[in-house]
A and B are shown apart, each in its own frame.
Chain A
Amino acid sequence: MIKKILAGCVLVFALIILLSSMFIVTEGEYVCIRRFGKIIDTKDSAGLYFKMPFVDSKLTLPNKKILYNLPASNVLTKDKKDMVIDNYIIWYISDPVEFVKSIGYISEAERRIDAAVYNTVKNTMGTLEQNSIINEKLSGRGEFDKIVTDEVARQLSGYGITVYDVKIKKLDLPIENEETVYQRMISEREKIAEQYRAEGEYEANKIKNEVDKQVNIIISEAKASAQELIGEGEAEYIKILSEAYSGEKKEFYEYIKTLEAMKASLKGEKTLILPLDSPITKYFKDIDN
């Protein structure tokens, strides 16, 4: 009976030892084996492994790219413009032994990354004008990212860290400056609107003036032609009459015209004083005779 219990205990104990000496490394992980605090082995590929039970302890670290978002910070450009910059960084632990020795924890690594990126960004920003940072086509923000990435990687190379990429996620004006930008945008738009209105007025007036000009030309040309026609009429009138009254008919014509003139001028109660040799008097004399 005791033997049986003993055998059972040994079996359980052996099982515990076996299980505690086995460990699994999953994809995307490093597992460091520490014996009395010292790293004696590092597993970087996934699978089932064995270690010394109780004596060895294991430390798991990520063997994958880590995204870290830096807090946004204010920086000054070369032309002393204030900007808010927000970076992200992608990094990974390339040498876990070095990493554990020099930094130890992810949070501590992020603290150092923070400091390195902040300093590098600040220094690099200080060498560039504001518009060349914002406008990539003017200078190349890609270039900026590359300079920062290289410099940060250099600073962190001793810690078993590889820096993949440092990129500007956001680059904005400080909130205090935004209102100024809005005001400028509004005034710019007002200027453009004003220009459209003025253009509209100008174009419309141009058209109207042209129309008025044409109207005047049409009317005055018509008037000119009309005068000519009327003149033609008068000329024709004179021509017809003078042809008719020429030669021997002239005397009779004058006679008739005189009578008509008398008719026209002597209408109504009038007193007429005539010289004796007036043609009208002649006729009065004729009657008297």
Chain B
Amino acid sequence: MEVINVGGNFKKVAKPPIKLIVGVIALIAFALLFFNSFYTVTDQEQAVVLTFGKVTNIEGAGIHFKLPRPIQSVVKVPVQMTQKLELGYRDQGNGNYITVDEESKMITGDFNIVKIDFFIEWKVSDPKKYLFNSEDPKGILRDSSLSAARSVVGSTSIDDVLTSGKIAIENEIKEKLIAYLDIYDIGIQVLDVKIQDSEPPTEEVKQAFKNVENAKQSKETAMNEANKYKNTEIPKAQAEADRILRNAESQKQTKINEAKGEVAKFLKMYEEYKNFEDITKTRLYLETMEEILPDITVYIEDDSSSVQKIVPLKPFNSEGGE
């Protein structure tokens, strides 16, 4: 009796909890399913809805409802977002880069080697194709970018690659890449191709390119110096020429003035001479003699007499002294 009683008691107590537990579990499961059935799509995304594995709908931004897992599933694709694919380098954030030589090293049309870092800006143009047309759309984009870049660079000279031809190269790569992706049809749209950096392959080669730049500069410098020389030497010469000319002019004028002076002096003297011819002549003569004879011994050679050939003429001053 007691046992039965106990059993009865047990049954009475145990029965309701099983139902309750089942009910609660069912409720929780249902709630989970229900809440899991809502999903949100951001502005940048589109959601591809698969019903039994088949694409049945593509949803834009907002909150959406789907049937639970085996029946419906959702894959979100960042359609509006512009994505960047780096080739030849990887941005590590905070301004650090690592180079990937394997991708960046290329051979140019004139058999030189360059390193080119570039990036592709792209976005998903068709989420369905992006998800289901290929196994690895990003891998295809990467490999076809490398292929396009190499075929363009392989047809360009190193000088164009390093300097003036960058924009043309970017455009050519972009064109090629768009053509490739058109054929592959993997839901990717290429927006832009940009060359980040193009440089010679090793430090030594880089140095050689720098030397060319230096040589260009030194050419400029040499020419500037030559022009400086020109700008100083020509005026200097002109100044010198001017000096020579003025000097000559002054000599000419001096000479003329000298002549005029002499003539003036002479004319004055002549006037006097004309009036008193002999007196003037004698006076001039005496003045001259006075000036020169004091220091002079004069001999006069007399050819007419055979006795004494030379007549001594004592200076006037020494005559008195002896």
Interaction A to B: yes
| Cβ-based interface call for B57 (8 A) | no
| Cβ-based interface call for B78 (8 A) | no
Asked if B234 and A281 make an inter-chain contact with CB atoms under 8 angstroms apart, the answer reads no
| Cβ-based interface call for B22 (8 A) | no
Alpha-carbon distance A134/B152, docked complex (angstroms): 10
Asked if A171 and B150 make an inter-chain contact with CB atoms under 8 angstroms apart, the answer reads yes
Q: Which chain A residue lies CB-closest to B211?
A: A193
Asked if B52 and A65 make an inter-chain contact with CB atoms under 8 angstroms apart, the answer reads no
Residues of B within 8 A of A283 (CB): 285, 289
| Cβ-based interface call for B29 (8 A) | no
Asked if B135 and A62 make an inter-chain contact with CB atoms under 8 angstroms apart, the answer reads yes
Which of A25, A29, A253, A274 is close to B266, meaning CB atoms less than 8 Å apart? Answer: A253
**A residues 167-196 in Cβ contact with B at 8 Å:** 167-173, 178, 181-182, 185-186, 189-190, 192-196
Q: Which chain B residue lies CB-closest to A255?
A: B281
Residues of B within 8 A of A190 (CB): 208, 211
| Cβ-based interface call for A37 (8 A) | no
Which of B205, B222, B269 is close to A203, meaning CB atoms less than 8 Å apart? Answer: B222
**A residues 222-266 in Cβ contact with B at 8 Å:** 222-223, 225-230, 232-234, 236-238, 240-241, 244-245, 249, 252-253, 255-256, 259, 262-263, 266
**A residues 25-73 in Cβ contact with B at 8 Å:** 25-29, 45-48, 62, 64-67, 69
Q: Which chain A residue lies CB-closest to B293?
A: A266
Which of B226, B251, B284 is close to A259, meaning CB atoms less than 8 Å apart? Answer: B284
The distance from the CB of A37 to the nearest CB of chain B, in whole angstroms, is: 25
The distance from the CB of A29 to the nearest CB of chain B, in whole angstroms, is: 7
Asked if B208 and A252 make an inter-chain contact with CB atoms under 8 angstroms apart, the answer reads no
| Cβ-based interface call for B18 (8 A) | no
| Cβ-based interface call for A17 (8 A) | no
The distance from the CB of B197 to the nearest CB of chain A, in whole angstroms, is: 18
| Cβ-based interface call for B80 (8 A) | no
Q: Which chain B residue lies CB-closest to A272?
A: B298
The distance from the CB of B33 to the nearest CB of chain A, in whole angstroms, is: 18
Asked if B260 and A240 make an inter-chain contact with CB atoms under 8 angstroms apart, the answer reads yes
9-residue interface stretch from A97-105, A152-160, A207-215: A207-215
Asked if A27 and B55 make an inter-chain contact with CB atoms under 8 angstroms apart, the answer reads yes
Which of A141, A169, A197 is close to B219, meaning CB atoms less than 8 Å apart? Answer: A197
Asked if A215 and B223 make an inter-chain contact with CB atoms under 8 angstroms apart, the answer reads no
Asked if A134 and B107 make an inter-chain contact with CB atoms under 8 angstroms apart, the answer reads yes
| Cβ-based interface call for A90 (8 A) | yes
Residues of A within 8 A of B144 (CB): 88, 167
Asked if B247 and A200 make an inter-chain contact with CB atoms under 8 angstroms apart, the answer reads no
The distance from the CB of B78 to the nearest CB of chain A, in whole angstroms, is: 19
Residues of A within 8 A of B233 (CB): 211-212, 215
Asked if A233 and B310 make an inter-chain contact with CB atoms under 8 angstroms apart, the answer reads no
A-B interface contact total, Cβ < 8 Å: 310
Asked if A273 and B310 make an inter-chain contact with CB atoms under 8 angstroms apart, the answer reads yes
CB-CB contacts of B256-277 with A at 8 A, as 1s and 0s?
Answer: 1011101100110110010000
Alpha-carbon distance A230/B256, docked complex (angstroms): 10
| Cβ-based interface call for B167 (8 A) | no
Which of B107, B112, B133, B220 is close to A28, meaning CB atoms less than 8 Å apart? Answer: B133
| Cβ-based interface call for A284 (8 A) | yes
| Cβ-based interface call for A18 (8 A) | no
| Cβ-based interface call for B297 (8 A) | yes
Whether A197 contacts B244 in the complex (CB less than 8 A), given A67-B135, A204-B226, comes out as no
CB-CB contacts of B192-232 with A at 8 A, as 1s and 0s?
Answer: 00000000111011001101101110111111011101100
The distance from the CB of A278 to the nearest CB of chain B, in whole angstroms, is: 8
The distance from the CB of A124 to the nearest CB of chain B, in whole angstroms, is: 16
Which of A64, A131, A207, A229 is close to B230, meaning CB atoms less than 8 Å apart? Answer: A207
Which of A171, A212, A221, A227 is close to B248, meaning CB atoms less than 8 Å apart? Answer: A227
Whether A240 contacts B259 in the complex (CB less than 8 A), given A64-B135, A204-B222, A276-B304, comes out as yes
Alpha-carbon distance A173/B303, docked complex (angstroms): 118
Alpha-carbon distance A259/B244, docked complex (angstroms): 37
9-residue interface stretch from B4-12, B35-43, B92-100, B235-243: B235-243
Asked if B291 and A263 make an inter-chain contact with CB atoms under 8 angstroms apart, the answer reads yes
Asked if B209 and A189 make an inter-chain contact with CB atoms under 8 angstroms apart, the answer reads yes
Asked if A229 and B113 make an inter-chain contact with CB atoms under 8 angstroms apart, the answer reads no
The distance from the CB of A215 to the nearest CB of chain B, in whole angstroms, is: 4
The distance from the CB of B129 to the nearest CB of chain A, in whole angstroms, is: 10
Alpha-carbon distance A236/B244, docked complex (angstroms): 20
| Cβ-based interface call for B19 (8 A) | no
| Cβ-based interface call for A219 (8 A) | yes
Residues of B within 8 A of A194 (CB): 215
Asked if B254 and A233 make an inter-chain contact with CB atoms under 8 angstroms apart, the answer reads yes
Asked if A255 and B139 make an inter-chain contact with CB atoms under 8 angstroms apart, the answer reads no
Alpha-carbon distance A240/B136, docked complex (angstroms): 113
- Residues of B at the A interface (CB closer than 8 Å) are 50, 52-55, 70, 105-107, 109, 111-113, 128, 131-136, 139-140, 143-144, 146-147, 150-152, 154-155, 158, 180, 183-184, 186, 200-202, 204-205, 208-209, 211-212, 214-216, 218-223, 225-227, 229-230, 233-234, 236-238, 240-242, 244-245, 247-249, 251-256, 258-260, 262-263, 266-267, 269-270, 273, 281, 284-285, 288-289, 291-292, 295-304, 310, 313
12 cross-chain CB contacts under 8 A: A27-B55, A45-B54, A62-B135, A182-B204, A200-B218, A207-B226, A218-B237, A230-B248, A230-B251, A240-B256, A255-B281, A284-B313
Extra A-B contacts (9), CB below 8 Å, given A135-B155, A200-B222, A207-B226: A46-B55, A165-B184, A168-B150, A169-B147, A204-B222, A229-B249, A237-B258, A252-B273, A263-B291
Q: Closest 6 A-B residue pairs measured CB to CB?
A: A200-B219, A233-B252, A226-B248, A222-B241, A46-B54, A28-B132
